[in-house]
Amino acid sequence: MSPALNVKKGCGGGGKHTIGHTMVDQNGKFWKELIPVKFTMEHFSQIAQSEWIWETIQKLDLDNPEILLDNPDRTDILKNMYVSPTRHSAESTSVAAPIRIPEMERCIASRKRYNWCPSHITSHTTDRVKSISFISSTKNSDVYLVGYVRDHEMTSEIWGTRVKVASTTEKCNYNPHSITTETGRDVQNFNGAQMFLFPKETASGIESFSSNLQQAIERSIGSPDGAERAITSIWCIKKKKFVGIRLYKDVFTQAVIDEVKVDLDMKYGIKITFTTSGKWNSNSDKPYFRFSSISW
């Protein structure tokens, strides 16, 4: 939520490492997400997957130029060939893995950049960045090239302009509302809020929970203004209390929740925190886990 009316904007880094499709590494170099590239193992019929090297991709481009021809970052992809790519399985044991292929396919169809794993960039110095990854499936011969290339249009000046930290002036003739979340955090100085619902299906569906949590994370780190980096429990006016974010135990176990957390932590370079109020979750007889907030 962005403060209104009584706010002045200031420039500066503000600790941000991702804005939109661009991110910055530990040396301050800028990278942007790729539009995924799809090809099949038939293109590599004579080469074992364990032997994939950049010369192989170079040969792929020479023998099958149509694969990279329409990709706006073709030149930069080929320039990065001296760095060994990383390889990942689409059939990862992570519960969030099944959403990857449909999401990559949507990005390919709409020519949209794909947010693969920002920590590959943001957690490393420039010389240790492995910017390109392959995702392959054991169920078919499809292979996806994803990752990042250097963003030549981004400069420190543009970055500083986009990363704006809102600060409230000490003197103000207008006193907006404030609210207190179930975790006790006081949110002040706003004139309203735009709500994104965390649908009820997330309480009893692993894929729905993982997918909607991922969307919330991307919404918060993917825009210059930045949505709230948390999902919070909502006050129920009928029960006159916070009802909590629920995950039903006939579907969710602590191991499943941890698995979703680890997968998204790694993918976005964040640390997700599940906050509880009271001793509800320590009671094994309760039919669901109850959280006051999920933040990152």
pLDDT value of position 87: 66
- What is the predicted pLDDT for the residue at 239? 78
Helix H or strand E encompassing 133: strand 132-136
* Chain centroid, CA 138 distance in Å: 25
Asked if residue 2 belongs to a domain, the reply is: no
pLDDT class of 58 with cuts at 50, 70, 90: low
**Range name among 134-143, 227-236, 240-249 with the lowest pLDDT average:** 134-143
pLDDT of amino acid 137: 72
- Tell me what pLDDT residue 250 has: 92
Q: Is residue 170 part of a domain?
A: no
End-to-end CA distance of the chain: 15
How far is 184 from 264, CA to CA, in rounded Å? 26
- What is the pLDDT at residue 262? 92
In this structure, are 39 and 137 located in the same domain? yes
Does 97 fall in a domain?
A: yes
Q: Among 129-138, 161-170, 224-233, name the one with the lowest average pLDDT.
A: 161-170
* Residue 102 domain boundaries: 17-150
Let me know if residue 146 belongs to a domain.
Answer: yes
Asked whether residue 97 falls in the same domain as residue 195, the answer is no
Same domain, 97 and 215: no
Average pLDDT in the 180-198 region?
66
85 with 192, same domain: the answer is no
Domain assignment present for 157 = no
For residue 233, the 8-state DSSP code is: -
Q: State which of 150, 168, 195 marks the end of a domain.
A: 150
The verdict on 109 and 198 lying in the same domain is no
Q: What percent of the chain has pLDDT over 70?
A: 67
| End position of a domain, from candidates 128, 150, 172 | 150
Are the CB atoms for 44 and 60 separated by under 8 Å? yes
Q: Distance of CA 103 to CAs 97, 113, 144, 146, 223, Å?
A: 10, 11, 12, 12, 19
Please check whether residues 32 and 145 belong to one and the same domain. yes
Number of domains in the chain: 2
In a shared domain, residues 141 and 216: no
What value does the mean pLDDT take over residues 40-50? 58
Is 1 contained in some domain? no
Same domain, 102 and 189: no
44 and 141 part of one domain? yes
- Residue 86 domain-assigned? yes
Question: Burial, 152: exposed, middle or buried (Cβ in 10 Å; 0-12, 13-18, 19+)?
Answer: exposed
185 and 61 part of one domain: no
d(C-alpha 254, C-alpha 46), whole Å: 44
135 and 185 co-located in one domain: no
Domain boundary among 150, 168, 196: 150
Angle made by CA atoms 10, 14, 17, in degrees to the nearest 5: 130
- The verdict on residue 171 lying in a domain is no
What residues pair up with 168 in beta bridges, in sequence order? 7
- pLDDT(44) > 80: no
Q: Which residues pair with 212 in a beta bridge?
A: none
Top-confidence residue, 274 or 225: 274
- Taking the CB of residue 139, how many other CB atoms lie within 10 A of it? 9
At residue 57, the pLDDT reads 64
Let me know whether 203 and 274 are in one domain.
yes
90 pairs with which residues across the strands? none
pLDDT bucket at 10, cuts 50 / 70 / 90: very low
Residues 252-263 pLDDT 10s:
999 999 999 999
